Structure 1
Amino acid sequence: MAGHSLDRMCGLPAERSSFVGRRAELAEARRLLSGSRLVTLVGPGGVGKTRLAVRTGTDLRRAFAHGVTLADLTAVSDPARVVEHVARAFDVRDVSGRWLPATVAEVIGSRQVLLVLDNCEHLRDACAVLVDTLLASCADLRVLTTSRVPLDVDGEAVLWVPPLGVPPRDRPPGAAPGTPRPPSEAVQLLVQRATAAVPGLVLAPADDAALADVCRRLDGLPLAIELAAVRLRTLTPAELADRLDDRFGLLRRSGTAVPERHRTLQATMEWSAELLTEPDRVLWRRAAVFAGDFDLSAAESVCADGTLPPRAVLDALSRLVEASLLEAAPGPHGRRFRMLETVRAYGRELLDAAGESRPARIRHVDWCAGLVASASADFAGPGQVAAFDRLGAVHAELGAALDLCLVVPDERERGLEMAADLWLYWAARGHLGEGRRRLHDLLAACGDRSSVRARGLVTAGFLALAATDPATAVPLLDRARELGEACGQSSVVAMATQYLGQAALFGGDLATADRLLREAASRHAELDERYEAFCWADVGVVALLAGRTADAAEAFGRSLSLAERGDPWTRSHALWGLGLVRLTTGDPDEAARLERSALGLMREVDDRSGTALCIEALSWAAAARRAWDLAARLSGAAEAVWRSIPAELPAPMAPRRDDCTTAARRALGDRRWAALHRAGAALDRTGAVALALDEPQAPSAPATGAGPSPLTPRQLEVAGLVAEGLTDRQIAARLVISPRTAESHVEQILARLGVRSRAEIAAWTAARLAAAG
């Protein structure tokens, strides 16, 4: 796995504004990470822990061969979902039913990765358990966390993040009157943000004292300073300082027992709220119900009513952005808006104080339920992928809505209906564990008399089956079928029968599987032929495993015919199966054509196990055509995809792969086969698919032919050690050079090859060896 990079990790976000100060903290964070595998940045809300963590990760990207990835836990409220969020950051999907921390650890393996885990304080215990598990299993993983309290994990190094430095009230000893002082970090931030917010703003030396006073009054808290900076649009620095003096004096007289720094931040929040118009304050508190970012349409649906008409929402959003209470960023379908967590927390306090929390949250549930119902209607049609994408973009919102439904008795049945409507999304986008927990909790809360119980049961059974847990799935599906028949819910009966057939297939009872799947197909035919199509694909798999090639061909062909205007997932599986039929009947060229068609659809759907199955089949087709080099490369590429899931080739398919490998080894010789296999295994999932589809590699990929090398002999030697997975220090020891010299060699190799990671160096080396024979 040394040459295999984690595919599609969540990288670090681009900085939207300049980074001010923090040189000492940056240096200390880097130093601590060099000696400790877990470093936690600790400090109060608004102090800038996230910005410091992201900048640290950005500065250290070249030190981690397999990248730096960010998992932001801001929108996660349930400790049980911490691991799911981290898994998504690593692009690991919950599709196997295994213990998810073990799956994440297996995918990370021995790779050199830095995980930045942001906003851990409200999930401290869950974060601590997960981090401890990953560090124990992944020797080259390092973790940088941000939290208001340490995680208290063995080996944790803690770095307290203080507010930015503020100017002293008195002149330095021995300084002459009028001697200018270098600006403090806090003043630098205030000036930079003010000049960015107010084009043409000119700050004179006479303003220095007022600016310094503002920063002192705000205790150097970056968030408070950024919120105050925008007020220089309408206030002079002196007026700003005077207003803060009055405001903070009033707060201090209140006698509150919270720490000074928190009182100051609260004061800034209250002051910001008072400077807004009433519609802006209404939008702020109502938009705080969103768990993550949102767009204009969502704000109009959730936040508008008779008090705040939909037509007023856009202007209010614009003013909140101008006031730095919202961040606006381009999204795939227009602008999206995001609140900092401290701003959201205060907005929710305002919502509670206004007595609007319940109605705002119910409107949020209404909005989510509408999105789910609309998307689920497309699950069996050509808009399937777009439907998954729409739901994925609001995953945090769906979780928040289902959380509310569970605790509000009047909303529980609607929550169960939403969770059932999400049936295919839970499985297709790697949320099996979450989906199963949601269904379990909502089924328990709704009781036996729920009108949607049968749908909930069949979905729970489907998810258990998808998680390879037939012992749990079969009783759920039996009960769903029984209840569906009693209630006249024909679609539930058809679904339950179909999945009971799949359970029999997984258990090796091919006769029962064939009977149940054909019955399900007949039931679906009376309701919706698009669902009938997938049943016939499963019938084809049963026939193929039973050795009934003609029956398999007929079933897969029928599935394709029914799915002509249906969803790409069904079509991809039918094409894959038909490709195997053609390979079995001695037509490897047609088999390869069908498998490439299937793979293109698998990529569209992002079906990762299906992707691996198609690449395996293309390797077998290449071997059948005696294209031995391609067969060996594709065999390695398939292995890389399986590892990235992680999963394995289903046992019934293993003999065919073994036959292919044996034939290719005999034709190529062990050395050349191993080199070509390594070259394929060094690819990430994107590269593996490109190889299988005979598509050009990414433009940044270096040439890998056996001709003249762009590297010197010494650099070639270092590249070979990188391909073995050695660190700079290990390379230095092997070559008897200094670690800094080894690091310099690696940097030069990256530059000469035009690549960005050690994994790409390894892939280049393996491919060059393969080309050399």
Structure 2
Amino acid sequence: MDRHEPAVTQWPPGSRAPHNLPAPLTSLVGRQPELDQIAALLARDRLVTLVGAAGIGKTRLGVHSAAAALDDHPDGAWFVDLSLVTQPHLVTHAVASALGVRERSGETLLQTVDTFVAGKVLLLVLDNCEHLTHACAELVCRLQRATSDLHVLATSRKELGVVGEVAWVVPPLAPPAGESPEEVASNDAARLFVARAGEDLEVTGVIAASIARICRRLDGIPLAIELAAGRVGELTPQEIETNLEHRFHLLTTDREDVSERQRSFHATLEWSHDLLSEPERVLLRRLATFAGPFTVNEADRVCSLDRVGGDGVAGVVARLARMSLLARRAGGDHVRYRMHESVRHFALEKLEAAGEHGEVRRGHARWCIAMAERADSDPAGQEQAECMVELADARSELRGALAWTVDHEPVLALALAGSLTRFWVACGELDEGRTWLERALAAGGDASGARAKALWGSGLVSCLLGDFGAVGPALGEGMALARGAGDGAVLARLLNLVGVTRIFTDPPGALEVLAETIVLSRRHDETTTLVSALAMQGFARALCGDLDAAAESLQECLEDGSGFGDSQPLVMGLVGMGHVRLHQGDTAGARTCLDEGLAMARRVHNPIWVALALGYQADLEAAFGSHHRARRLASEAVEVARLTGALPVIGLCLAMAGNVELAAGNPASSLPLFDEALQRVTGERGGVRSRALVGRGRALVDLGDPEAALALLQEAVALAEDVRNRIAAAAALHELGRCAARLGDHGSALERYRAS
């Protein structure tokens, strides 16, 4: 046998076993846990394949792991670079060359290699196997049959598929959780950036924050981080971060010591793309439409491939995951997949080049609309909660679909934004909802039904944000469109919203509109609107002073909503009934309803009604002297209300918190709460403002300043009488009487008391 000694380096220092492992040109940053795990696998298993995405660091980990294992392999560790091998039959030649083996006369080269490894304890490192997996698998099986002491460490973007193979997925470097210099200094991904950027980089607060965000946006992929860091000097870290939108122009190097396909991150991804079959290429580019994780079923619905292998979308997705182009994440009822951001940028380029971008985006938008409409269509009980969770999990998809449809498909944008209104309200995401609704409406679209629904959504969100001036025009246009289109279901929603707004400004007028809403909702099976209208009818009747009629409406609301299970309208009914029972003197009934309403509001994740239920509970506890508990409930109500951004709700909870302080004998502590409540509802001419005015006036009377209180209480009386709110008027008149008594005007005081 002719054998030429392969070139043996002195790396790693102190090693006595022969090897040809390439000496690294830069230090390895971090990765000790990974090296430990790979070492344990090599000590136990004969074939270990390091599998991972492009640029994840498989080769570097493989070389360092082989170096660490030299003492366990006295016949050496031999590195075989397959990146430039293009033909399967040349794999054996590459291995023979690394081992220093030449073909002998009378036998094949494979037989010569077979004979050479027999009886030797050595480690064979096969690097970059992904384009030659079948040839590598055959060779490994042949050689490992020849000797039980041969260990193979392979690196590949997919496993070799050999019995006994242990495929170990190389993880990315975890990016920093925070952005402080201390967190950056202790994080491996950030330390890699700093190490490759050079000694002159001073990691101050602003620079540390940019480095942290760069590492996150590059998904912790070492090659991408190193290429980005290599631009320091030409660009600051802040400029590199800004330019990541055009990452493939940025993530390049002209260093001669780097292989051609690793001189740009784009070339590295192109190498992976070239290895794919046509169905795999088609699905990869179409999957880039997903901004976040997705299931196989979702991929099937959105991508609707017409060029898939016999195993369909599920099979192609599984193969893309095996090739490390998709990351697999198990958990919950479904396995979910996602693309690293850089892979997604690359795939979107391919989607655009294929001329499929518009078609796939439309399919994605229709999938989002179907999901939103399912949640908007009065699902009952657990199904409603599941729909809301599904939408919450798909936020990135919804935002992507809205952004694209606003610019390219205005009718779809209207349909999606309108159907998401209840989701935004339930989650307390009013500002985002308003932004998308305004953009969708401004984009146009001639579908009158979809536009009417979006106008309802815009009006509802504006009402909750306290922008009452914007509500009227939206409702007026929406009702005209709904009537013209004969869309009774949307018309019922619009009328219900008219009723809700009139509760603040004209409770008797609200009753007229809500009665029509109830009839229309029953006719068109708009159950959510029906139950909501009955609850609002109960509140309006209570404000008009008819507590018995209010209780009847709320009881009907609870009965009609009972089929829903947990739902927002049922929460409204329970909280409303608790409020009415409290005013009727039924403490036990009030507490039961409010407790149930709060628990359900938490279960359906509706922060607006969580805040209101807490506020009414605080009212109840304060009325019976449980001041510590009342203060705790009121504080939580204000805290939750602030998160919703709903100004009338914030104002009401602040006024309730002020009343709790008054009940506890702390008028000075109540004043800032009433002042903020009045600031929050400057545009409201109804019960919330009246309550805050009465509370502030009462506090001033308690603090010995009835003169200052008088004007506030007179304004509160005028406001309550103007909007025909009998409950608010009674409270304002009672406090005005108390104020007059403090001023010595006992005749006027008696008159006010009688009027209240």
Query: Normalized against structure 2, the TM-score is what?
Result: 0.55
Contact 1:579 1:595 in 2 (8 A): yes
Listed one character per residue, the Cα deviations across residues 312-348 of structure 1 (whole Å, up to 9, x for unaligned) are 2222222222222111112322111011011111122
Distance 1:588 1:579 in 2: 9
What is residue 154 of structure 1 aligned with on the other side?
none
Q: Secondary structure in 1 aligned to 2:335?
A: strand
User: Residues 510 and 308 of structure 1: is their aligned pair in 2 closer, same or farther, counting only changes over 3 Å?
Assistant: same
Structure 1 contact 284–347 (Cα < 8 Å) conserved: yes
Question: Are 2:515 and 1:518 aligned?
Answer: yes
Q: Which residue identity lines up with residue 475 of structure 2 in the other structure? A: L
SS in 2 for 1:294: coil
Higher deviation after alignment, 615-624 or 470-479: 615-624
| Cα 1:504/1:635, change in 2 over 3 Å | closer
**Cα distance in structure 1, aligned partners of 2:78 and 2:599:** 62
The equivalent residue for 1:389 is 389
- SS of 2:330 mapped into structure 1: strand
Instruction: Evaluate the alpha carbon distance shift between residue 279 and residue 622 of structure 1 in structure 2; reply closer, same or farther with a 3 A threshold.
Output: same
1:609 & 1:321 partners in 2: Cα distance? 42
Within-5 A mapping of 1:622-771? 622-642=621-641, 644-645=643-644, 658-665=658-665
Which structure 2 segments of 5+ residues have no match?
1-7, 49-65, 71-75, 85-126, 137-151, 158-248, 255-261, 671-756
| Residue 237 to residue 367, structure 1, CA distance change in 2 (3 Å) | same
Q: Distance in 1 between matches of 2:501 and 2:569?
A: 18
Give yes or no for the alignment of 1:259 onto 2:256.
no
Partner of residue 281, structure 2 = 281
CA–CA distance in structure 1, aligned partners of residues 36 and 130 of structure 2: 11
1:540 is displaced (CA, Å) by 1.6
Residue 333 of structure 2 is matched in structure 1 by: 333
Distance 1:229 1:616, change over 3 A: farther
Q: Structure 1, residues 540-576: CA drift from partner, whole Å, max 9, x if none? A: 2222233332222122112112212136111111111
Distance 1:580 1:233, change over 3 A: same
**Which structure has the higher relative contact order (CA within 8 Å, separation 6+)?**
1
For residue 267 of structure 1, give the secondary structure of its aligned residue in structure 2.
helix
CA gap of 1:302–1:525, structure 2 versus 1, over 3 A, is closer
Deviation string for 1:427-475 (max 9, x for gaps)? 2223333333333333333355655332232222222223221211210
Matches within 5 A, 1:352-391: 352-378=352-378, 383-391=383-391
Which digits, 9 at most, give the CA deviation of each residue in 1:728-762, with x for residues without a partner?
A: xxxxxxxxxxxxxxxxxxxxxxxxxxxxxxxxxxx
CA deviation map 1:226-265 (0-9, x unaligned): x969789765889989xxxxxxxxxxxxxx9983277432
Unaligned runs of 5+ in 1: 1-168, 215-226, 242-255, 674-773
1:550 to 533, 548, 551: 548
SS where residue 337 of structure 1 aligns? Answer: strand
Say what the alpha-carbon RMSD is for the aligned residues.
4.3
The answer to whether the Cα contact below 8 Å between 1:413 and 1:452 also exists between their aligned partners in 2 is yes
Matches of 1:318 and 1:600 in 2, distance apart?
42
Question: 2: distance between equivalents of 1:382 and 1:196?
Answer: 47
Q: d(CA) in 1 for partners of 2:15 and 2:559? A: 90
Tell me if 1:442 matches 2:436.
no
Q: Return the alpha-carbon distance in structure 1 between the equivalents of residues 325 and 570 of structure 2.
A: 47
Q: Which of residues 185, 208, 214 is equivalent to 2:28?
A: 185
Aligned equivalents of 1:392, 1:342: Cα separation in 2: 25
Query: What is aligned with 2:585?
Result: 586
Q: Select between 580-589 and 594-603 the one with higher mean Cα deviation.
A: 580-589
Does the CA-based 8 Å contact 1:193-1:229 persist in structure 2? no
SS of equivalent to 2:328: strand
* Corresponding residue for residue 741 of structure 1: none
- Match for 1:265: what amino acid? F
Match of 2:618 in 1: 619
Superposed displacement of residue 207, structure 1: 4.8
Contact 2:82 2:128 in 1 (8 A): no
Q: Which has the larger radius of gyration?
A: 2
Q: CA deviation at 1:646?
A: 6.2
Distance in 2 of aligned mates of 1:435 and 1:654: 24
Cα 1:407–1:310 change in 2 (3 A) is farther
The one of 531, 535, 551 equivalent to 1:537 is 535
Q: Match for 1:606: what amino acid?
A: H
Letter in 1 for 2:481: L
Q: Give the distance between the partners of 2:312 and 2:635, measured in 1 at CA.
A: 57
Change over 3 Å in CA distance of 1:212–1:172 after alignment to 2: farther
1:201 is matched with which residue: 47, 52, 76? 47
Cα distance in 1 between the residues matched to 2:285 and 2:40: 26
What letter matches 1:492 in structure 2? Answer: V
Corresponding letter in the other structure for 1:362: R
The CA deviation at 1:535 is 0.8
Residue 280 and residue 207 in structure 1: after superposition, are their counterparts in 2 closer, same or farther (change >3 A)?
A: farther
Does the C-alpha gap of structure 1 residues 449 and 299 become closer, same or farther in structure 2, counting only changes over 3 Å?
closer
Change (3 A) 1:265 1:186: farther
Spell out, residue by residue over 1:606-641, the C-alpha distance to the aligned partner (whole angstroms, 9 max, x if none): 122321222232233334444455334434443443
Query: Residue 47 of structure 2: SS of its match in structure 1?
Result: coil
Deviation of 1:526 (Å)? 1.8
The whole-number CA distance in structure 2 between the counterparts of 1:646 and 1:401 is 24
Take 1:338 and 1:543, find their aligned partners in 2: how far apart are those partners? 52
Equivalence for 2:322: 322
3-state SS of the aligned residue for 2:524? coil
CA distance in 2, matches of 1:544, 1:308: 63
CA distance in structure 1 between the partners assigned to 2:129 and 2:27 by the alignment: 16
Distance 2:410 2:599 in 1: 40
How many correspondences in the alignment?
Answer: 475
Q: Is the 8 A contact 2:380 2:563 kept in 1?
A: no
> Partners of 1:375 and 1:463 in 2: how far apart?
18
Deviation at 1:301, TM superposition (A): 1.6
Written as runs of structure 1 = structure 2, the 5 A alignment for 1:66-77 is none
Aligned ranges 1:12-23 → 2 under 5 Å: none
Q: Residue by residue, what CA displacement relative to the aligned partner does 1:142-192 show, whole Å, maximum 9, x if unpaired?
A: xxxxxxxxxxxxxxxxxxxxxxxxxxx997999999899799417968968
Distance 2:498 2:660 in 1: 33
CA-CA distance at 1:505 after TM superposition: 2.3
Structure 1 residue identity aligned to 2:317: L
Q: Give the superposition deviation at 1:392.
A: 1.6
Contact persistence 1:195–1:201 (CA under 8 A): no
* 1:165-314 alignment runs, 5 A limit: 184-185=27-28, 200-201=46-47, 203=66, 205=70, 207=77, 259-260=252-253, 263-308=263-308, 311-314=311-314
Q: Residues 176 and 658 (structure 1 numbering): CA distance in 2 closer, same or farther, change over 3 Å?
A: closer
Match of 2:425 in 1: 427
Distance 1:283 1:620, change over 3 A: same
Measured against aligned partners, the alpha-carbon deviations of 1:18-64 in whole angstroms (never above 9, x if no partner) come to xxxxxxxxxxxxxxxxxxxxxxxxxxxxxxxxxxxxxxxxxxxxxxx
**Most deviating of 626-635 and 262-271:** 626-635
Q: Aligned to 1:328, what secondary structure does the other structure show?
A: strand
Change (3 A) 1:309 1:428: farther
Question: Using the alignment, how far apart are the partners of 1:560 and 1:536 within structure 2?
Answer: 9
Q: Structure 1 residues 614 and 342 mapped into 2: Cα distance closer, same or farther (>3 Å)?
A: same
Distance 2:562 2:665 in 1: 40
CA contact (8 A) 1:194 1:229 kept: no
| Cα 1:535–1:197 shift into 2, 3 Å | farther
Q: CA deviation at 1:665?
A: 5.0
1:477 is aligned, of 468, 475, 478, to 475
SS at match of 2:336: strand
